[in-house]
Structure 1
Amino acid sequence: MDDEPLARSGVLARLTRHPDMHLVGEYADGKAALDGILNTPSDLVLLDIQMPNLDGFGLLDEIPQERRPLVIFLTAHDNFAVRAFDLKALDYILKPIDDDRFSESLDRAREAIASRHHGGATTLDLSEGRHRRRFSIRTGRRVTFIDSADVEWIEASGDYAILHCHRKEHLLRESLADLAKRLDPAMFIRAHRSTIVRLDCVAEMQALPNRDALIRLRDGTPLRVSRTYIANLLERLHERSIRS
């Protein structure tokens, strides 16, 4: 939803690169958008803040929480982010929109939508109600078994993933996206579209000038955190500090 036709066309062009995203409507003002959302429920809304008749925040206030879709704000204004996240927005993207940033946000939306459809509320959803406790690593005829508690972080490597355990690397023939659905959300969290980290391995976190962040693991390994995942990571780290 955006009152600028050029801005809407740019978003639509980006969405065509993601064929699993199906458009159910587009609107040029807040009142029309509200009617459209209430009459045609959807999983995800890409929403501007300043629109005629009803702004983005007012629109969300009119939708009951149980009927509210996931929301990614697309705006030229950087001073509304706190309020947006207070309303549990999935993401907040500044215009002009960066293509990689947009793709990262849709990745996060896919995970959140999958979680909702499976009755969960975590970034790392479950698969068939089971968490991965061990990994089987094949090297020729040899199979090595690794406990998930020994995995410090995981990075994407094409269609595979690399497990990092005590300064050793193990190639796992599974994608990072598939792993994210099977890992225990109490232990692991997404830090980047290409990185998953074990929460209790995070020693410190530092903000970066571009609104991303840098975390350092207990063994000194530095990892970048994309701004898409910062809020959720901070919340989970805070929860762990309260429990410990």
Structure 2
Amino acid sequence: MLNVIIVDDELPARENLRCLLESDPEICIVAECNNAMEAIREIHRHQPDVVFLDIQMPKINGIEMLSMLDHETMPRIVFLTAYGEFAVKAFEEQAFDYLLKPVEPERLNKTLYRLHNHCFSGNINQLKSINQKLNYIPCIGHNRIYLLNLDDVFYIASKITGILVFNETNQEYLTELTLRTLESKTCLVRCHRQYLINLKKLKEIRFNQTGGVEVILINDISVPVSRRYLKPLKELLGL
């Protein structure tokens, strides 16, 4: 059984693909999403085997979305596109396959045949070579997606409510990206198991009398530093 997520901002396209996939008894559609942020959340939740991913979506397109996923748990990606020229870009990103919209049953069956044969032949991560850096962090707003420029980010914290991104005024934004993805895809530096900081916003490192360490940012916000990350942080700063 293959667990599948469909990601497309057009409802008719999602419905068409769902109807075609449901004819295969070895396919289980675990989620449908109409934008990249929903898709990232559902991928984290369900850990699907395959994602059918539309390339052209508002705000964050399908190819940009891939750079925001954790590559160690990356599902196989089948790109969906209405334009043949995007197929070249899809394979540059090492997608498992691509389908032109509207999806034709015969072409989809070929893709499904390959997926059934390959998905359980080994844990092959076909997307490990995607090393695109993020220029912004997508965050969830009410009926919108905020795209925060990295230069405006002061620190990021992992809390019970999720991964929170903080700006100069200490306003918080919720993102679906993991700390591990943000650490590997941005210039932000880990100073604690639950925190990343922007070194450009660093003002001082403070040692308190009880042996604890914290960094003070230029907006006077303090962020804890754990012993594990203190030495690497000092090395980055040339200390």
Smaller-chain TM-score bracket: 0.3 to 0.5
Q: Give the number of the structure whose alpha-carbon radius of gyration is greater.
A: 2
**Structure 1 or 2: more strand by fraction:** 2
Which structure is higher in RCO with an 8 Å CA cutoff and minimum separation 6? 2
